[in-house]
Structure formats: C-alpha cells, structure tokens
C-alpha cells in the first residue's frame, strides 16, 4: 500500500513539474478546436443527424446557455457512448425537454435537502445539548477525533461579520466562559445557524462516538440521533449526510442531476420492495429513497411520488429515459412510495 501511494505521489509530481513531457508520454494533443458560434453549432448537430425544427430558436437557446453544459442532455440520443452521430429520429426538442426537466427537478430536490438540513441542525442540538447539559459542547476537544478548528474559525468569522440581531445581541452581551480563541462563540443552537451543511457534515464525521456513550442497554447517543433520521446507526447517518451535502451542492450550482452517477446510500435498499428492482443502484432513485426515509422519520411530507409523477407526465422525454435515473418501470407500485 505504501509503495502504491509513493508511485501515485511521484506521478503527480512529474505531471506538475514537467507537464509537456507528461503530455507527450500520454499521447495528449494540444487543444486546437476553433471557436464556433451558436448557429454553426446547431448546423453541426444537424449534420450529425439531430432533427432541429427551428434552427434560429435552437441557436438562440445555445447563445443564452453554455453549449458544453447542454451537450450532456444530448448524450442519451447518441447511437453509442462516445459517438457523434444521433439515433435516427432524435430531436433537439427532446434534449431541451430533458434540460428543462432537470431544472425543475433540481429546484424540487434542493427544497428537500434544505428541509433535511434544518431538521439536522435542530435535532443535533437537541440530542447532544440535552445529553451533555452543555450548550458549548461543540467546543470541547473530547467530543472529536480531530478537533474542527478551521470550521469553528469560519463560524466565528461569519458571526463577527453578521448583521443579524441574534448575532449582535450575543456578541454585545455574552461570552462562553470556555476561554481560548473560541471564547466568544455562542451556544450550539445559535452557531448551528451559521454553519453550512458541509461544515455540519464535517462536525458529524469527526465525532468521537465513545464520548457519547449511554449506560447500557441504551444505544449510543449518536446512534439515537441517526435513528431520528431513519438510519440504523451514526455510521450510516454520516454517509447519508455526506450524500445530502453532495446533492444539495449539485442542485445549488446548477449541475446535472437527473442521470448523474451517484454513490449508493447504505442501508436504503432494504426499505424498497425486493420485487421492484432499481434500474441502477448508482442513480437518483436510491438517493430520493434516502431523502424520503429521512423526511418521513422526522414526520415531514416529502411529496416525492406526486412530484415525480407530475414531472414525468410534463416531460415525456424524461419519462422515456427514467431508467437512466434508476427508476424501475413500475416504481409507483412499490409500497415504499
């Protein structure tokens, strides 16, 4: 393992220090494709077999959007992965439909992840603050495998520059009594409002589980937190929160979501019907199931089934390609939904 890491490090160093030699060794060519305006790009698509009903409108759409980004919505209509020619009968409008479907899908899923983020902040505070009887528990080194100093510095930076009334009120009246560089950070129920879901994820992944033990036979306090969100233990919840963070970032940054390859959330498949198999475990279907489990465990309506039915009805091109999202053809028959 050590030798493998050393070889990998050596390759990275060679690539960084001698980029032209590395490129020559790999047979890479200098990029020399000329700039093409939107109308030329539409004409190229037509030459490759794509039906474009209204070339000026298509060119105007490409002018307003990043063509490279739009190309991913054309891929399902290619004759094979990596090919340039399109399946006979493929239309520009079908790819545009997938693009619009993805836009609506991202807005919906972003709302789900935002709800989970709020629930996670609240329940984490409730579980650990009550358990520890310490509103500043998150500042104690004993609760972490690696103390999250940089994350707390970022929270402090946000607090000190915040114009929110709650932040100014605390800073002008209190301190924690903890001492050290984080002495002026507030209780966790306040600081949690300043943390991004990525920072929240970092805290959870760095918890030292042993510092949250309960007297047997009561489960560990972190496992109880996990069960608040439908996960069996904190290990599963840590993974789920990581995946929620990733999904949230893809949605917020307008990245392709609908047929993206995703990690399979652990311990989710057991909740789905064994007789209705997902077309792929590494697509959105399993991640939506994870979000549903988390929200249902918190007593929050998710509307996933009704929204997806509506979107598939509104966008037939997406419905025809739902297997690329991992959806089984008969997914609605699964009692899980």
Nearest to 267 by CA among 295, 222, 234, 219: 234
For a pLDDT cut of 70, what percent of the chain falls above it?
A: 99
pTM over 0.85: yes
Q: Can you tell me the distance from the alpha carbon of 196 to that of 293, in angstroms, rounded to the nearest whole number?
A: 22
49: left (phi over 0), alpha (psi -120 to 50) or beta: left
Nearest to 61 by CA among 30, 114, 35, 99: 99
pLDDT of 14 reads 87
pLDDT of 196 strictly over 80: yes
| CB 38, CB 59: distance < 8 Å | yes
pLDDT of 1 strictly over 70: no
pLDDT of 81 strictly over 90: no
| Chain-centre distance for alpha carbon 194 | 19
220-268 pLDDT, tens digit per residue, is 999 999 999 999 999 999 999 999 999 999 999 999 999 999 999 999 9
Using pLDDT thresholds of 50, 70 and 90, give the confidence band for residue 8: confident
For a pLDDT cut of 90, what percent of the chain falls above it?
A: 82
User: What is the DSSP secondary-structure string of 28-72?
Assistant: -----PPP--HHHHHHHHHHTT-B-S-HHHHHHHHHHS-HHHHGG
pLDDT of 318 reads 97
pLDDT of 2 reads 63
Distance between start and end Cα atoms, the chain: 44
């Amino acid at each position: 393992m050590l030798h493998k890491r050393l070889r990998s490090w050596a390759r990275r160093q060679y690539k960084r220090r001698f980029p032209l030699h590395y490129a020559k060794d790999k047979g890479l060519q200098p990029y020399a494709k000329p700039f093409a305006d939107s109308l030329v790009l539409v004409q190229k698509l037509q030459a490759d077999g794509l039906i474009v009903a209204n070339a000026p409108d298509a060119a105007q759409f490409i002018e307003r959007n990043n063509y490279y980004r739009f190309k991913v919505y054309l891929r399902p209509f290619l004759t094979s992965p990596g090919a340039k020619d399109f399946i006979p009968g493929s239309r520009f409008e079908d790819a545009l439909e997938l693009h619009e479907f993805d836009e609506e899908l991202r807005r919906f899923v972003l709302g789900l992840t935002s709800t989970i983020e709020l629930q996670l902040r609240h329940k984490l505070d409730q579980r650990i603050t009550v358990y520890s009887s310490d509103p500043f528990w998150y500042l104690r080194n004993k609760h972490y495998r690696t103390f999250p100093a940089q994350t707390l510095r970022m929270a402090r930076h946000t607090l000190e520059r915040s114009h929110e009334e709650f932040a100014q009120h605390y800073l002008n009246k209190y301190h924690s009594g903890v001492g050290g560089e984080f002495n002026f950070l507030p209780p966790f129920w306040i600081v949690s409002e300043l943390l991004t879901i990525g920072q929240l994820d970092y805290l959870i992944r760095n918890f030292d589980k042993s510092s949250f033990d309960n007297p047997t036979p009561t489960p560990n306090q972190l496992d109880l937190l996990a069960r608040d969100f439908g996960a069996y233990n904190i290990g599963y919840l840590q993974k789920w929160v990581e995946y929620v963070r990733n999904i949230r970032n893809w949605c917020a940054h307008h990245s392709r979501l609908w047929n993206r390859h995703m990690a399979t959330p652990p311990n989710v498949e057991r909740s789905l019907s064994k007789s209705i198999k997902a077309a792929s475990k590494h697509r959105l279907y399993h991640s939506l199931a994870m979000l549903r489990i988390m929200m249902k465990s918190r007593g929050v309506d998710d509307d996933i089934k009704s929204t997806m039915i509506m979107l598939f009805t509104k966008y037939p091109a997406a419905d025809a390609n739902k297997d690329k999202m991992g959806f089984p053809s008969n997914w609605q028959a699964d009692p899980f939904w």
